[in-house]
Amino acid sequence: MFLFLDFDGVLHPQYDGVPTPVGEVFCHLSLFESIMRDFPHVEIIISSTWRYQFSIEELRSKFSPDIAGRIVGMTPQTEHDEREYVQARREVEILEWLAISGRSDAAWIALDDAAWLFDKHRDRLVHCTWYVGLNDEVELKLKSALASLVYTASNF
């Protein structure tokens, strides 16, 4: 069971055209970790664009040790021009990671603020509002999606 995790617009608000203020970066991390502790069998894959700038070890260091240990990978870093729209790019990267890992049939969801980066698997998306991030409303949706993920995986 996998959760594909975006950072900007999820673990902290994203600002239009400017970097997130340092004091707000990862401001929702403790809420995310609290939720994930209720679902200990769900592994985490980083799908955030932060993977282009930081190694998996550097990204794991942002998390508490118990959650960092559940970060088992990052989606592939595909070559692309940021000015060019690529249909469902995040979804394609997730499916590629699953295929490369030999887990194409695995149960998964994505926590992301960019719905346009998903197409055929939009039903697996727990969507955050980009300028808010993970809040109480999204928390309820995420818990429900994780519970369904665990239920689905246990019935295989």
Alpha-carbon gap, residue 132 to 68, rounded angstroms:
24
Note whether 120 and 13 are within 8 A (CB). no
Q: What is the CATH number of the domain that holds 89?
A: 3.40.50.1000
Model-level pTM?
A: 0.93
- State the helix-helix crossing angle for 29-37 and 136-154, rounded to 10 degrees: 30
Alpha-carbon gap, residue 90 to 53, rounded angstroms:
17
How many domains does the chain contain in total? 1
Q: Where are the alpha helices (DSSP H) in 38-88?
A: 56-60, 65-68
Q: What local confidence, expressed as pLDDT, does residue 81 receive?
A: 55
Q: What local confidence, expressed as pLDDT, does residue 152 receive?
A: 72
Please give the residue range of the domain that contains residue 10: 2-154
Neighbours of 135 (CB within 10 A): 13
Note whether 89 and 53 are within 8 A (CB). no
Pick from 128, 147, 124: nearest CA to 137: 128
Q: Where are the alpha helices (DSSP H) in 3-126?
A: 29-37, 56-60, 65-68, 89-100
For each successive 10 residues of the chain (156 residues), what is the average pLDDT?
97 91 95 98 96 96 98 87 68 96 96 94 96 97 94 68
